[in-house]
């Protein structure tokens, strides 16, 4: 099992490094390889249950979304749909082992973050406005439920899932601002690091 973790971390490091320094072909290779290794790692979890398949399906949907982003621009709507499905599956997994409570500062904070993000990119989205807004909403709900799960039962499993969901939100915030508003130094590396570590921590939650 240790070798599986090492393989995932090494592939993820090569992916993040390629996102920062290049070449592009290395990023295109190691991004799907890293997700495939995470899929294998998730399936090997010692306490794997029926709900664990939601994490596997979420990773697979992200893999499909990544592949669609490499196609022409008109396919970006389908990529957003795949990422939406991934976060929906993660959300169901977070909700499957909790009794919903309401810690109001968290949804309020997320609502403000979502509103600011939409305000920043709204004018550049054009026909993708509502798909992207729906995706942002789904991602915020995912982080909210992951957070509620941790506040309700502060275990290592819940904490790992919460931080993982938060990092996925951060990855897509950076991606949307960079893609639709303004590029900045090391944006691809930051996106890659948040994206990989976010998925990794969610898979890690299956082992705790």
Kindly list the domain boundaries of the chain, sorted by start residue.
Answer: 2-207
Q: Name the token pair of 69.
A: 């982003």
pLDDT band of residue 109 (cuts 50, 70, 90) is very high
33, pLDDT greater than 60? yes
Between 114 and 154, name the one with better pLDDT. Answer: 114
pLDDT digits (tens, 9 = 90+) for 63-75: 888 888 777 665 7
Question: How does pLDDT run across 150-188, given as a tens digit for each residue?
Answer: 888 888 888 999 999 999 999 999 999 988 887 777 788
Cα 11 to Cα 25, 120, 153, distances in angstroms: 14, 33, 33
- What confidence score (pLDDT) does residue 12 get? 82
The CA angle 41-192-189, to the nearest 5 degrees, is: 145
Q: Which of 22-36, 141-155, 170-184 has the lowest mean pLDDT?
A: 22-36
What's residue 99's pLDDT? 64
Q: 45 with 206: CB under 8 angstroms?
A: yes
Does the pLDDT at position 1 exceed 60? no
Cβ atoms of 83 and 135 within 8 Å: the answer is yes
pTM of the shown model? 0.90
């Amino acid at each position: 099992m240790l070798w599986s973790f090492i393989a995932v971390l090494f592939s993820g490091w090569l992916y993040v490094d390629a996102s920062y320094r290049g070449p592009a072909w290395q990023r295109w290779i190691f991004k799907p390889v890293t997700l495939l290794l995470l899929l294998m790692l998730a399936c090997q979890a010692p306490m794997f249950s029926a709900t664990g398949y939601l994490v596997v399906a979420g990773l697979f949907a992200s893999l499909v979304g990544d592949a669609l982003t490499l196609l022409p621009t008109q396919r970006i709507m389908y990529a957003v749909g795949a990422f939406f499905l991934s976060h929906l599956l993660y959300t169901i997994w977070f909700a499957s082992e909790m009794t919903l409570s309401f810690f109001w500062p968290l949804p309020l904070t997320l609502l403000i973050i979502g509103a600011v993000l939409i305000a920043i990119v709204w004018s550049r989205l054009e026909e993708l406005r509502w798909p992207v807004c729906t995706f942002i909403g789904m991602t915020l709900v995912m982080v909210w439920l992951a957070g509620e799960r941790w506040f309700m039962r502060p275990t290592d499993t819940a904490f790992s899932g919460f931080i993982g969901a938060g990092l996925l939100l951060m990855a897509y915030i950076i991606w949307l601002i960079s893609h639709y508003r303004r590029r900045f130094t090391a944006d691809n590396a930051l996106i890659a690091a948040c994206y990989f570590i976010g998925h990794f921590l969610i898979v890690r939650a299956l082992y705790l």
